[in-house]
Structure 1
């Protein structure tokens, strides 16, 4: 698979890692459809890169089905799906206000884990319709976990659990889809300069960056995008989780 011949859907494509991925893929010749809840921003980014936009709630089956149908209509097929949609709340299991609200935990699991699986399964169903490449390849799914799946910090019970689930999905999903010629990979980013971090003060950002061994800075979304693009084109990568974190191990 080459990016120039790729037709990709990207969830969370209106900002952060998803936007960077959409821009990178498009710049290298791929067709891209952005899936996001932010209609204004999503429409704007899609117009800038010559792509398409579908308002999407990744936790809703009908919403994702409609988005995939639109993507197939606009691009002719889907050969790559990159799942970047997610949320991160910082809530302790028991804090000053009492126990972790169950609704907040459920919402994080629903968006980060259930939403990822929802998009992946429906994208795979669309990909199996593709004419296979000479090596049998029909598509690739790239899910986004986090180093919190391995090194979850305090206040990250819900987030770490959701991302741990995404890590756990990778290998069995790759095995499930192998006969269809669909690869499954997972990227586990460290601390990246996304909208979730951009709202923090410069002092806090500097403190976070100082903990990264090398290079001692926050990750740039373009680096995630470049890795996602490499995975699309590296056809022997399958069933694996790749950390991209500057050797950071959180504590």
Structure 2
């Protein structure tokens, strides 16, 4: 599969890694539909020449409506990239008592269940495509799936779930000609992180083995594109972290 003339949906595509991916895909000649909970994401999508569907990834009807809108606008779906997610921080037992169960549940619901909700509905649509290779799914894990830090129980669990379901879903969808991979990014210069004080950013970058800097969202986007175009990549979780191992 090539990015040129392909049809992609990107969740969380209005900012950060998702927007970088949507923009890169558009620059390579793909049609793109951005799925994002924030209605203001329509402006970001329009700026890169992409379509937009306001979407709650945790809601089946909302995602199905977005899938239907993407098919209507692009004629089908070949690629699904899941970047929608939240980052939470809370200790299992902290100063105010035990970890809030609602926080843990919400993190799993958005990051893990939301990704599965989108990919299963996208895969059902892809299965009707012609040709031997009918689709590619790229999910976003995190190095926290392997090196979770204090306060990351919920976030690490959600991303470990993404990593853990990669191979079984690839096996499930092999008969439909659909490949599935995940990217596990390290510390990236997304708008949220760039909003931190410079000294905090510098301290984070200093932890990276090499190169000692934050990752560029464009680097994530290029890897997502490489996964799409390399037909032998399947069932793999790829770390993109400058050899960072969190302590």
Q: CA RMSD in A?
A: 0.6
What is the aligned partner in structure 2 of residue 32 from structure 1? 32
1:121 aligns with 2:117: no
Deviations 1:179-206 (A, max 9, x none): 1000000000000011331221111111
1:248 aligns with 2:244: yes
1:190 to 169, 186, 190: 186
1:202 aligns with 2:201: no
Shifted more, 46-55 versus 145-154: the winner is: 46-55
Q: Work out the CA distance in 1 between the residues paired with 2:189 and 2:98.
A: 30
* 1:108-187 matched pairs, under 5 angstroms: 108-132=107-131, 136-187=132-183
What is the aligned partner in structure 2 of residue 90 from structure 1? 89
Q: Work out the CA distance in 2 between the residues paired with 1:43 and 1:120.
A: 22
Instruction: Give the ranges of 4+ consecutive aligned residues of structure 1 lying more than 3 Å apart after TM superposition.
Output: none
Deviations 1:28-85 (A, max 9, x none): 1000000001111x11122112110000000000000000000000000100000000
What is the aligned partner in structure 2 of residue 2 from structure 1? 2
What is the aligned partner in structure 2 of residue 73 from structure 1? 72
Q: Quote the offset at 1:99 in angstroms.
A: 0.8
Q: Work out the CA distance in 1 between the residues paired with 2:231 and 2:47.
A: 29
What is the aligned partner in structure 1 of residue 101 from structure 2? 102
Partner-residue secondary structure (3-state), 2:4 = helix
What is the aligned partner in structure 2 of residue 20 from structure 1? 20
What is the aligned partner in structure 1 of residue 11 from structure 2? 11
1:225 to 210, 221, 226: 221
TM superposition score normalised by structure 2: 0.99
Q: Work out the CA distance in 1 between the residues paired with 2:44 and 2:226.
A: 22
Q: Quote the offset at 1:237 in angstroms.
A: 0.3
TM superposition score normalised by structure 1: 0.97
Q: Quote the offset at 1:245 in angstroms.
A: 0.1
Q: Work out the CA distance in 2 between the residues paired with 1:195 and 1:101.
A: 27
Q: Any unmatched runs of 5+ in structure 1?
A: none
Q: Work out the CA distance in 1 between the residues paired with 2:50 and 2:142.
A: 27
Aligned length: 247
Q: Any unmatched runs of 5+ in structure 2?
A: none
